[in-house]
Structure 1
């Protein structure tokens, strides 16, 4: 009897161990092993908050994604929130309206920041202030709260004081990121006195053109602001004309003006120099055996010459060893989280050796718009 029990116990134990091994293997395959043992990935979020006009009582968040649900909190740079969204379930939400707190003394106008917060409290509702910041903390990315800043201009003329008013704005529906466009606006001086004030064109909140306009008291004038789009990020963007406290916005679809590319101009054991056409904020990485060996500084969207990538001092690279220069979207300070930039479905990269670069008298030895799958899409010059 005893031996049977012992044998049966051993069999059950063996079966349990086999089951655990199967679960672990399956978890590793599908990426769920950490969750099985209570180790979860860090919560993630993203938010798009754009310049807009409003009546001071509410703002609109164009898009927010929360891995674990939570709230969007609106502030003006201070510690006290001006508005908190309703609870948002995990997932992506578009055109979220965030209304001002009933007891808020400040209207939702001016430069505002929208921050994405988690929902970790057992109590109903946003509990960050009530728990002294212990619960419902912000989502983090690279150690910083996930948020976005936008300028909200008031639709109430009386609230704008002596500011020139933007009565209308008109901009092209489409443009490239390397041309001069005409942005037309009608500006009015609501006061009885002659005045000078700056008028700005902003794309996604960044100033691209600025003029000083002089208007007589009560005068309204149609103005044309020639605006260079160089350096603006591609995509569906807000474009607006702003005065001191007034503004009006519309949308523009910006297309990157050339094919993304990276070209190696010079290279040795210490550094690699490239030129790059990068369609979004990112960097150039030099890879060795599939691992990033060095990165450039962060690059704004556009074309860049003489971009330097420093290589490790303690690594010796032979003249015939194959290296790869690749365009990445993201922050070079957190290269592991960055993503290769693709064009027509393939990463934008080029392979080279120190010997090839040294032997090219043209000074621009390797150039690639995208890896076509053969490991090297390069041409001279």
Structure 2
């Protein structure tokens, strides 16, 4: 069978080559006539498989003939190959065999896109200057299976070809003059013979035995890599592609798309430049009912099939926010992004395509619920230089931009990398009149507008969140930039000013169209986008804005809003009670005493004591019994060790005069909160009396010195001097105590009394005087410490950065009493006060420090299973005291009793930053180390 097929194919190739030569000769002579484009077809007899067009004169750029059944709008039943010049007797193979007489209309098409392949959606019908379509009509008479009888000689010659041996085949190929005079029906008959496999098989059995070793079978066209969507709506256009590979001795061939076995489109594909091509069919499903269909791509030798399910059309996918580079290197992928939105009322799946000059370069099936949107990212590339139209399209909509492809784009990109636009902004908490806000500072490389967004930005409302924008600011540093609110080009507002306290966000924007006008809102984000950092995120800073009018309203309505304050000072306790120095509430209160587990998130279990109910107003020296709380179970009955406790005023929400916060697991009698929503509280360090008595007993048991009077007298002088000096210090501290620490003033007075009493007894017990003087000094120190805790201030600035993972940089820190800058990971926000510590600076003297380097995972008391950051994350910088003055960070080793955090307005001083971990090659170790050493001197981490 293979041998006979080879023979027939060889005859076919020979005949086609000769026939093509004849046609080219005729066309060359006819071209001189320069006739107007036309097509002519005569009434004729046909075997139902081929139709002959009498003559055709194509347009200047060449064209095709499409045969429509019945009328110009009837279905296409056959198309010609590309026709470059005037031609006669053009044979058109029908896509399906007709079995009854019919009328056909030959319509002339231009080769609009110049690719010499007919695509009905692109290659438009040729029209005259008057707008008439160039066409001609003819009646076809089908003769029952017989070929056209216009040339009986051709039939006879075809039959002779079938019976010729391989030696005779050589004669046929050489007799070109005879074949040139034959009609073009011979290739048709030869092709028909190839479709009669039973005869071929018989002839192979009879004639092929001898020649089997002499002739090798001819390779055919291979089809592979069929690509198409699995699902599409009816009335949609579906793209089907497949790779077709041609044998070495074939330069052209027909490729068909079939649906349910019917040929719906045929392409004549040239392989002159390459032996493999991707063939694309765009099929309109209009008229097909919903359901599953088998389709495939076929050549005369091979094919691949797939299934597609057509569904009801019930949604419309819109395309917006197309984003892609303007330039790309030849042959390199570029990514195109677009937002796809289902504007319909039902969920749907559509094929989203990225196209270059109309050809599908990438595609993706997208399923969306009604009203849902998503961003698609598709990679496309072009193999030749030029300007392309790059578009992203759904069934109904699309967006297009230009893409310039050239060999030197990559070099240009590299050269311009250093020119990437950069900016930073600082926007601090502030009070506003509601009409303007002030941006503390902004610095940009390319000039900027500073846009003010409200908090809906964090919910994804990128455009609608813009409520204010500055005037255009030239590149460089700008400070105290005033931004008018609710006056933004392109935005519509229902309000004219802020009316409530809220968080706002400052964001520097570029002037991408260089017109000096902020067009981000008016262009729906297409122009004047934000500056971004090295991670691709917008550059922002937020601040809490308090409205002046709101402050006045709070003052006026104080009686209507529950408010409270509390003072809880350091003290000595018997372990069973503590004393709250003062509490003032607007609606009455219980004062709850919490232990330090409150700071770890133990809100209910940390309650260890509560006062009786206190009517609204001021109350002083409120005694609170410990370990007797309704609803709580305790394993102990009193405090046994020194510790920090926290006093917190609570409301009586159910107005029953009983503290039910613990018993109801927080549902009733919650705490008073301040204007930021945080609980009102104060903390104090409580020292247990039992520990003090032990110290006193040691003092009382000291041996009296009586043996050496001379030495005693000498020491007495020193004692007197020391007492006088310390009394002076006490007096100095009294001034400060009066300013803010009333309770400690009493202790100072008591200590002065002790000093006076002990001075009287100097002669009797000089040793005790010395010891008590020491106690006076110690108490004075406590006074100083308490004043420090109340009056101490700190600030820290911790910016987003890239790091090797072993060190971070803190931009600045100001510690009024000195201390350390501690780095916590994000578990701090979950209540992990101790376990979140992953880094600490060296000891910092009081004052301002810039560019502070903080090594990570090298903290006294820290047990960690890693030595560096392993992933990008948010870290928190927090200034800490050096409470024991040893210049060593002891917060972890003392379980939080020493070196606690600076606190202002009742909350720790912190700043957070997004830290990106950058890995470095081993080959760069030396260079990296040098860079770190240089940067650590100014506190900057290598980026």
Q: Tell me the TM-score normalised to structure 2 length.
A: 0.14
Higher helix share: 2
Q: Tell me the TM-score normalised to structure 1 length.
A: 0.30
Q: Radius of gyration: which is bigger?
A: 2
Which has the bigger relative contact order, CA under 8 A and spacing at least 6? Answer: 1
